[in-house]
Amino acid sequence: MTKYILGGISVPPGTEKDEVIAAAAKKLRRAGIPAARLTIWRRSVDARKQNDIRIVYAVLFETPGTLKKETVEKHALRPASDAALAVSCGTTPLGARPIVVGMGPCGMFAALLLAEHGYRPLLIERGGDVADRVRTVEAFYAGGALDPDCSVQFGAGGAGTFSDGKLVTRIGDAHCSYVLSRFAAFGAPAEILTNAKPHIGTDVLRDVVSNIAQEITRLGGEILYRTRFLGYDEPKDGVRRIRTTRGDFETSALVLAIGHSARDTYAMLLDRGCAIEAKDFSVGMRIEHKKADIDRALYGALAGSPDLPYAEYNLSTNTKTRGVYTFCMCPGGEVVSGASEPGGLCVNGMSRYARDGENSNSAVCVSVFRNDYGATPADAIAYQRSLERAAFRAGGENYNAPVCTVKDFVERRRATALGRVRPTYMNGRVTPADLSALFPTVLYDALAGGLAAFGRKIRGFDAPDALLTGLETRTSAPLRILRGENLTMLGTEDIYPGGEGAGYAGGITSAAVDGVKIALAIMAKFAPMA
């Protein structure tokens, strides 16, 4: 039996799943394609026409043998990829166990896969476990001191643990199905396997991360929390010594899944002369609207229907100078601090599984090119840091976030009063400010133009009282650690940079996929631990 996917099953909201399966079966019968074991593969919302909102399904089915190419093309079918991994273990003995630095999605999935196949990895994480991290972050939100090593950016699960838990990706990699299936196996809602825009929610994701950590240790792996990676020595006889705040350790395969905010590690690698290049990235602000307003703008009369998810958008436009886009849209969510350095402030968005907050938010970001900040990776980091320090000062130098309305921003003035949209950032710890003054003119002009363009696409997006919170600066790493086809850092045979921090991913799923690829590369070279 061969598996294929039939898409384009469009039905009204409220249609039962057995009716969807029946419609798919009828379509296949008319095409003369024998089909068995039909199941829902993907579900998405088509809200392009408010008077005719549709739910669009893709259905997985099995058929004897292999269909002819012309049949596949005529009926817009595609072969289904298997979620299982083809694991091949090498024969080279490991002189010392693999070490994974960083427990974000990349490092977590690399360590999990290695542990599942007998490699007993050591995972080093500068932040705390989930419980420790939640306590530390909540204390910070309540007015306590920032812990640079245990924050929204650092700790078990990485930055994604304090986000929406979005699993949407555009990479189209066959390993995506595996990653989603593993998330579901460790406690994520089963619907992530079928929703076109899957999300776990930060509250549920915390439990998932804890479950994965327990599995890694159960299988013989080890996790050292509150342990900062300091550097490494040159290899000798296939073994390299690494230095941490908990002492030295030896490894034959070092995975650097450091995350996009590990600026001290970047500095160490740059000082060593590692092959690193600057790249383009983005900066911007968080915009908040009433969730009900966004639902009405996108769903019209069907807003609030239990048969529809809370409305989401994904917008982009090109201004005269550069691109502007929305990123990490969080229905019913809140704006959170992403600060990880004293004297610097940046923001992010998150929502819980229920997405039941009053506001919806997203980043509005503008492209930053290398000629905006210089030519080197150090220049890129310095540019990010300068914006974060400006935001810190504008907020009052106490981690309050600077805010203004869209009207204030467009008119380039300090906020005087907020409107209907109340700030969600850190329990309302905000300071009215002039956000326009925090951006260079070329970036401000593009952002202002982008807001106007998005207002033409979604009614009310650029409403005068829509709330802006600044600044969003950590959308991605501003650099890339170069690696070869074997996924090792150029100039080495045993160091594997990966995930967002290395410049090879842009979200939870793509980072996890990169971790899977790295683990497969290590296993293909080395035999499991004796």
State the pLDDT at residue 321: 85
Domain ends where: 49, 79, 109?
79
Flag whether 123 is in a domain: yes
Distance of CA 342 to the CA centre of its chain: 24
Q: What does the pLDDT look like over 146-163, one tens digit per residue?
A: 999 999 999 999 998 888
What pLDDT, on a 0 to 100 scale, did the predictor assign at position 49?
Answer: 93
Residue 89 in any domain: the answer is no
Same domain, 110 and 217: yes
Query: Which whole number is the average pLDDT over 30-40?
Result: 96
273 belongs to a structural domain: yes
343 with 237, same domain: the answer is no
Beta bridge partner(s), residue 497? 256
308: Cβ contacts below 8 Å, ≥ 6 apart: 13, 45, 53, 299, 302
Phi, psi of 222 (to 5 degrees): -135, 140
Residue 55 lies in a domain: yes
Quote the DSSP letter at residue 111.
H
Residues 304 and 348 in one domain: yes
Answer yes or no: is 110 within a domain: yes
* 233: phi then psi, degrees, rounded to nearest 5: -100, 170
Same domain, 215 and 238: yes
The parent domain of residue 310 ranges over 280-472
- CATH at 73: 3.30.70.2700
With a pLDDT cut of 90, the percent of the chain lying above it is 94
Distance from C-alpha of 336 to C-alpha of 15, rounded to nearest angstrom: 37
- Same domain? 187 vs 320: no
Residues 54-89: pLDDT tens digits?
Answer: 999 999 999 999 999 999 999 999 999 877 888 999
Mean pLDDT, residues 458-476: 96
Tell me whether residue 477 is in a domain: no
Within-domain flag for 70: yes
Q: Indicate if 273 and 136 belong to the same structural domain.
A: yes
Q: Are 164 and 265 part of one and the same domain? A: yes
Whole-angstrom distance, CA of residue 446 vs CA of residue 206: 36
Domain boundary among 50, 79, 108: 79
pLDDT at site 276: 98
Pair 33, 159 in one domain? no
Contact between residue 467 and residue 423 where contact means Cβ atoms under 8 Å apart: yes
Whether residue 39 is contained in a domain is answered as yes
Residues 423 and 362 in one domain: yes
- What integer pLDDT is reported at residue 202 of this predicted model? 93
Domain shared by 243 and 327, yes or no: no
Predicted confidence (pLDDT) per residue in 88-129, tens digit: 999 999 999 999 999 999 999 999 999 999 999 999 999 999
Check whether residue 125 and residue 248 sit in a common domain: yes
Same domain, 270 and 373: no
Query: Tell me, what CATH number does 507's domain have?
Result: 3.50.50.60
- Quick: pLDDT tens for 273-313: 999 999 999 999 999 999 999 999 999 999 999 999 999 99
**Domain count along the chain:** 3
Q: Considering Cα of 211, then 213, then 216, then 219, what sign does the dihedral take?
A: negative
